């Protein structure tokens, strides 16, 4: 009877014994806050004991957290890597301890045997979609673009820039005249946009491409403070599709955003449970969807749906 009982124990019963460490970047954006909320919920739904560490956007704090998880002998580690480089040594330590690591929403420049899988969107594709939106919107007319980059050295900042440049290449009417990091935050997005407006003159800026909505929302305030109409005098396209981006589009202050699901943990924990239960190896990349939203969508309704999801 005992053998029978063990043989039919459902995976969820197995998951109840799991302890997983989560090294989260911080809470730099509404999207990041939502990812944290959703990850905690996904773990709770599975009866997983989640140990949460907020790194305040510092890589050294993430490395410390990973070392602590290894010392505690957790069953697995979730890592949202703030930047792409500098992980090899600590990921080797996790590997030596037979602790699988799953990357969330960003990737690392490390040999892929150092992590089980990465759950991310196609970050280059997101940049391409943003660039193509502007190509279509301008329809051949000249447009001087300013760009708010994400955190320097992070895979989204690198890849979203690459994708956007690919999309506008060959369209000589489109030119990026200023590009600087706003570190994915509203406050820095506002400050850097103020410097762009001062340096270029608001009347000489046609569009803003921001690597996330939070920097775009900060920039909207700077554009308004300069007496200009965001979404009209200066077109704005960004990424994440957080509630406030849908609200800004509904209000005509922003033009387009590309959705990034905050639920990377669901696929990550599914892959980990299968791997830990019976060695099932997931693909190295589990890709999440990206969807463009514009003023043609019912952004007010979408805002209402998303506003209580923990952003």
CB 256 within 8 A of CB 249: yes
C-alpha distances out from residue 273 to 10, 30, 53, Å: 11, 28, 21
- The residue behind tokens 């999207």 is 31
Nearer of residues 212 and 299 to ligand GZL, judged by Cβ = 212
Nearer of residues 80 and 143 to ligand GZL, judged by Cβ = 80
Do strands 174-181 and 235-240 pair parallel, antiparallel, or not at all (unpaired)?
unpaired
Part of the chain binding ligand GZL (CB under 6 A), chosen from 29-37, 59-67, 161-169, 220-228:
29-37
Sheet holding 207-210, edge to edge: 174-181, 143-149, 207-210, 235-240, 256-260, 290-294
The torsion angles phi and psi of 204, rounded to 5 degrees, stand at: -100, 5
| Residues near ligand GZL (CB under 6 A), total | 15
CA atoms of 203 and 208, how far apart (whole Å): 13
Cβ 155 to ligand GZL shortest distance, Å:
7
CA atoms of 182 and 20, how far apart (whole Å): 32
209 near ligand GZL, judged by CB under 6 A: no
Nearer of residues 28 and 75 to ligand GZL, judged by Cβ = 28
239 near ligand GZL, judged by CB under 6 A: yes
CA atoms of 205 and 193, how far apart (whole Å): 11
Nearer of residues 32 and 188 to ligand GZL, judged by Cβ = 32
47: left (phi over 0), alpha (psi -120 to 50) or beta: left
Site for ligand GZL in 243-302 (CB under 6 A): 260
Closest C-alpha to 268, from 114, 101, 106? 101
Two structure tokens written together for 139:
């329809």
Nearer of residues 125 and 144 to ligand GZL, judged by Cβ = 125
Site for ligand GZL in 210-229 (CB under 6 A): 212, 214
Nearer of residues 75 and 240 to ligand GZL, judged by Cβ = 240
Cβ 201 to ligand GZL shortest distance, Å:
29
- The residue behind tokens 């923990």 is 310
Closest C-alpha to 48, from 68, 70, 74, 66? 74
Residues 90-129, mask of contacts with ligand GZL (x by CB under 6 A): ---------------xx-------------xx--------
Part of the chain binding ligand GZL (CB under 6 A), chosen from 13-21, 25-33, 93-101, 278-286:
25-33
Cβ 124 to ligand GZL shortest distance, Å:
12
Cβ 156 to ligand GZL shortest distance, Å:
4
Nearer of residues 156 and 282 to ligand GZL, judged by Cβ = 156
Site for ligand GZL in 34-93 (CB under 6 A): none
Query: Which residues would be at the binding site for ligand GZL (CB under 6 A)?
Result: 28-29, 31-32, 105-106, 120-121, 156, 184, 212, 214, 239-240, 260
């Amino acid at each position: 009877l005992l053998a029978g009982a063990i043989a039919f124990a459902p995976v969820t019963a197995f998951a109840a014994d799991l302890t997983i460490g989560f090294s989260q970047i911080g809470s730099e954006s509404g999207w990041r806050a939502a990812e944290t909320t959703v990850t905690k919920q996904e773990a709770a739904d599975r009866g997983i004991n989640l140990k949460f560490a907020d790194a305040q956007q510092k890589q050294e704090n993430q490395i410390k957290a990973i070392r602590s998880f290894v010392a505690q002998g957790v069953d697995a580690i979730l890592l949202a890597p703030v930047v792409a480089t500098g992980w090899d040594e600590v990921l080797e330590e996790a590997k030596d301890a037979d602790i699988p690591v799953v990357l969330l929403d960003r990737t690392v420049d490390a040999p892929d045997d150092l992590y089980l899988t990465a759950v991310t969107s196609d970050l280059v594709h997101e940049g391409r979609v943003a660039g193509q939106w502007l190509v279509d919107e301008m329809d051949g007319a000249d447009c001087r673009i300013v760009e708010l980059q994400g955190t320097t050295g992070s895979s989204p900042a690198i890849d979203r820039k690459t994708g956007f440049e690919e999309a506008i290449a060959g369209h000589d009417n489109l030119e990026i005249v200023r590009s600087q990091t706003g570190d994915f935050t509203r406050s820095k997005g506002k400050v850097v946009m103020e410097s762009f407006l001062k340096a270029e003159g608001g009347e000489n800026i046609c569009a803003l491409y921001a690597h996330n909505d939070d920097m775009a929302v900060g920039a909207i305030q700077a554009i308004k403070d300069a007496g200009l109409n965001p979404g009209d005098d200066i077109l704005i396209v960004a990424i994440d599709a957080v509630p406030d981006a849908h609200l800004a589009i509904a209000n005509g202050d922003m033009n387009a955003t590309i959705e990034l699901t905050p639920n990377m943990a669901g696929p990550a924990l599914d892959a980990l449970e299968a791997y830990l239960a019976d060695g099932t190896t997931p693909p190295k990349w589990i890709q999440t969807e990206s969807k463009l939203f514009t003023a043609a969508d019912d952004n007010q309704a979408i805002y209402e749906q998303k506003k209580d999801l923990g952003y």
